Structure 1
């Protein structure tokens, strides 16, 4: 499975993946998922929001155990973020069949659409729509960098955008959702310091997802000639933006949080022109809401103070926000019991479909050790032995939940 999926959407120059929602690479990933489902005799369907489902047993029976993740990527992302969870889900089902497991609850494997939000700027679109956390009207306003709207992109890919919206009946069938994911960080690897080779913790359980959000900062100045405009006469928004980036690092460090300006848009974007507009996107995450509020407020204050000095106008728009998500303790504890009670439990600053769905159904997550902690990069990696350990752990969990 890994060999078949690995080439799809891979950029030859960077080695990274560009699997954006409703593109050709996305279509190939979806076709791969359908082929895997049908090869195993599973009932395949796509829901009203473009999420894919592969069912073993009768979906209408309810109380289903569901597993899966996503197949899309960030720009030039790694191979493991998302796809490891989908591949492992099919592999875990294969393992359970090898064991001769007798299922007492329906089981499903899922691929949630547009989890990364790389094309339209909003993460977890498929699961947000299904859970009613994104309205149809708001979804229709989403546009990519070329101005193409989400409905237009879906229609071009052969899907009906008029159907999108909350899917409470489908979610009501789900008794538990367990998502396996490569760890985006190296907490598990750090626990292994001093351990003998081949020992340590290959798998962990998620406790919570930090509160996180995305904010757009618009710095408006005055376009002018880079060679003839005196420094004293300039209203250069790039200076304000640069100071804001530095302020984000300072404030995040003070609060024990993280803050990143990872995307920027400049107008008119000429080498010999002072910009008229610099637009930067802030991603910030923290262990708790108070820390996150303090960081973002301090960054905004620093930006406004510098903007006033530079003669630049500032506007800040919160584009998305997800509060702290505590995974259901009972399900989390059940996973730990099934796996022998000695599995590390750790929080994460990364958002996931499991976090979005947690408001509607009981959810849990398994993490597979990432030795370097690198993610959202072509260098993202997990050793094959650890990936296999993740499959076995997921199979054990599914057997404990769906074969009782």
Structure 2
């Protein structure tokens, strides 16, 4: 990858480190070291307060949209033709520090780099053609990207683009029976206002999300460009039986749903391997959940992903047929091909004449994948040396993170100069 113009040493790098230190303890669980920044909780509120503070520190225009997504604007929010970057700050249960926050922190750091360059080059073409005087730049924190609390991922971006029905969203429930609508209201937000936001979407000319790679496919490159997101979804499997005494009920008299669930787990693994896909039962609820009681019900959630929709649909159909369970699709995202001209533009910018920058698909879902149906969208990945993600061991080297900031600043500068 060619040097996209070094992020100015000193202030920008120090600013990145300061932001990272400030956000690092928020929502961190003492015994696991993982993060529990779930939507509309106190940890989420701290993250939101941090985002607003970053915006106000920089004199940016701060906005909260009707779906609970946070925006920080450099330039006139109403001008249109905006370049937008950012990610999310929430986490999966006991997730890592980088998934989401790296994209938000890098967005603020990239903006700092652009403003530093702008101040140093008042007479060059950037000033004349206008970063400040032309297209506005926005940083966004999308709400409830992970779906850790209410079971549907990318809630903020799905609502904004109209992919998620507002009435259905308000009725989503967490494990304690609290609805998303009630949680929003308790946090001081209006659940009655959620829904597709055409006015805001019309402002956006391009969206670029930076994210830590959730795998080990970048090799020696610190930064890469996303080509596509695999189709993926979540399905709830309800296995029903009859509760009874574990110590007195003969095996032949039992209606135990647990063996059927266990078989479904093994079938999912075997069939996914044959199909070149992925299938994971990662969440399970058992009733009555007693050590000495035969379960009356096992509810399990399947996460499945594949290179194409035909493979994914066939895999889930086979698993549904074999399971002997009631199966409900809770979310589904088809194959996302990122905007070709924008993707290629980023690859040229970061790869230079040799084109030596990885361009790769991912099996992980992102807000960028949801926005891709409404606006030109692209993604940058920062190298993950272990490939670990959605766990406390998730990591990226500081040098690679700063390379990501430099790459993002270079991309944003180019997009702000002229139409994408």
TM-score, normalised via structure 2 length: 0.91
What is the distance in 1 between the residues matched to 2:241 and 2:179? 29
Question: Which of these residues, 381, 393, 398, is aligned with residue 395 of structure 2?
Answer: 381
After the TM superposition, which residues 168-247 of structure 1 pair with which residues of structure 2 at under 5 Å, given as runs? 168-189=198-219, 200-247=220-267
* Alignment match, 1:268: 288
What is the distance in 2 between the residues matched to 1:300 and 1:371? 36
**In terms of mean alpha carbon deviation, does 247-256 or 96-105 score higher?**
96-105
Asked if 1:256 corresponds to 2:276, the answer is yes
Cα deviation, residue 301, structure 1: 2.4
Question: Which of these residues, 328, 350, 374, is aligned with residue 339 of structure 2?
Answer: 328
Question: Which of these residues, 1, 21, 30, is aligned with residue 39 of structure 2?
Answer: 21
* Alignment match, 1:362: 376
Q: Deviations over 1:216-266 (max 9, x none)?
A: 100001111101111111111001000100000000000000000000000
| Alignment length (residue pairs) | 385
Alignment gaps of 5+ in structure 1:
190-199, 305-313
The 3-state SS of whatever aligns with 1:140 is helix
Q: Deviations over 1:106-135 (max 9, x none)?
A: 000000000000010000000000001112
What is the distance in 1 between the residues matched to 2:75 and 2:334? 35
Cα deviation, residue 338, structure 1: 1.6
**In terms of mean alpha carbon deviation, does 100-109 or 227-236 score higher?**
100-109
* Alignment match, 2:357: 343
* Alignment match, 1:30: 48
Q: Deviations over 1:317-351 (max 9, x none)?
A: 11110000000101001111221232110000000
What is the distance in 2 between the residues matched to 1:179 and 1:32? 19
What is the distance in 2 between the residues matched to 1:348 and 1:297? 23
What stretches of structure 1 move > 3 A for 4+ residues in a row? Answer: none
* Alignment match, 1:93: 111
Q: Deviations over 1:114-164 (max 9, x none)?
A: 000001000000000000111211112111111111111011111111111
What is the distance in 1 between the residues matched to 2:415 and 2:349? 9
Cα deviation, residue 291, structure 1: 1.0
Cα deviation, residue 33, structure 1: 0.3
* Alignment match, 1:166: 196
Asked if 1:371 corresponds to 2:385, the answer is yes
* Alignment match, 1:319: 330
Alignment gaps of 5+ in structure 2:
1-18, 119-125
Question: Which of these residues, 51, 54, 65, is aligned with residue 72 of structure 2?
Answer: 54
RMSD, aligned α-carbons: 0.8
What is the distance in 1 between the residues matched to 2:175 and 2:288? 16
Cα deviation, residue 205, structure 1: 0.4
Cα deviation, residue 98, structure 1: 1.8
What is the distance in 2 between the residues matched to 1:138 and 1:302? 29
**In terms of mean alpha carbon deviation, does 71-80 or 330-339 score higher?**
330-339
The 3-state SS of whatever aligns with 1:11 is coil
The 3-state SS of whatever aligns with 1:61 is coil
What is the distance in 1 between the residues matched to 2:251 and 2:158? 47
What is the distance in 1 between the residues matched to 2:287 and 2:170? 26
What is the distance in 2 between the residues matched to 1:218 and 1:136? 25
What is the distance in 2 between the residues matched to 1:245 and 1:62? 49
Asked if 1:403 corresponds to 2:420, the answer is no
TM-score, normalised via structure 1 length: 0.94
* Alignment match, 1:308: none
Asked if 1:76 corresponds to 2:94, the answer is yes
What is the distance in 2 between the residues matched to 1:343 and 1:399? 19
What is the distance in 2 between the residues matched to 1:119 and 1:213? 16
Question: Which of these residues, 301, 307, 313, is aligned with residue 287 of structure 1?
Answer: 307
* Alignment match, 2:9: none
Cα deviation, residue 95, structure 1: 1.1
